Amino acid sequence: MTIDELKRATGHRAAEYVRSGMVVGLGSGSTARHATLRVAERLRQGELSDIVAIPTSDETASLAAAEGIPLTTLDEHSRIDITIDGADEVDPHLDVIKGLGGFLLREKIVAAATEAEVIVVDDSKVVQRLGTRSPVPVEVIRFGWQNTRRALEATGAVRTAVRLAGGVPYVTDEGNYIIDCTYDGIDDPVGLSQRLNAIPGVVENGLFIGIAKIVVVASPTGIRVLERR
C-alpha cells in the first residue's frame, strides 16, 4: 500500500467511531482529511444523521462545508463527543507531537473539550521516544518573536527555526508564527511542555500529553488500534 492508501484506510477506520447525534471534532492534515471525507460519505449514505462538527482549521472548515457536513462552534457546543485528528509522532504511552500542519493551537483547544480524542497515523509516526522523528512546533505571537526563540533555545533544543512559507514566516489561522524546536529525544514531555508554555510570547506547544484515548495505526500488514488504559 502507498502512504496515501495507508492514510485513507486509517481515516476510514477512525470515522467508524462517529455515531449519529454526536458533536464531532474534525482534525487537520492529510490523514484527518480522509476521516472527514468518510464522515461526509456516511452522512450522504444515511449511515449517520444529526451530527454537527467543529473544525480545527479554516482548511478543514472549507472541506467539511463543501462535503455537506453541518458545522458548529465551541461557543454553541462546549463539549465534543469525539475528535479525529492526525499526529506527527506517537509514543508507547499514546502521547503525541502535533503541529507540523500548522494548526496546533486550535487542535489543542478542541482536544481539551473532547471526550474521546482519536489519533490516526501510519506506522512511520510510531516512535519509542517523542522528539526523535519530529520537532516540537511552538506557536508564538509575532511581537518579540526573536526573543521568544532565544528563550526556546534555552530549553535544550538543538535547533530552532521559524516556520517559513514562500520564503516568509508562516502565519497561523490565529495570526501567530510557529517556531519548530528540534530535540535529541525528549525524556520528560510533561516538564518540557510546562517550560515551553511558561515562556512569555509562547501561545501553545505541540506536545499533546495524556490527551489521546485511541490511536489507529495503519501499516502494510493491516490496521491496529491502541487504547489508553
Is 107 part of the annotated catalytic residue set?
yes
Nearest to 105 by CA among 150, 149, 74, 68: 74
Active-site annotation holder among 5, 41, 47, 107: 107
Residue 106 CA from chain centroid, whole number: 9
In whole angstroms, what is the distance from residue 220 CA to residue 186 CA?
28
Crossing angle between the packed helical segments 58-66 and 30-44, to the nearest 10 degrees: 30
CB 25 within 8 A of CB 83: yes
- β partners of residue 159: 182
Contact 208, 111 (CB under 8 A): yes
What residues does 9 pair with on adjacent strands? Answer: none
Residues 6+ apart with CB under 8 A from 65: 71
Name the grid cell of 44: 450522504
Q: Which residues are catalytic?
A: 107
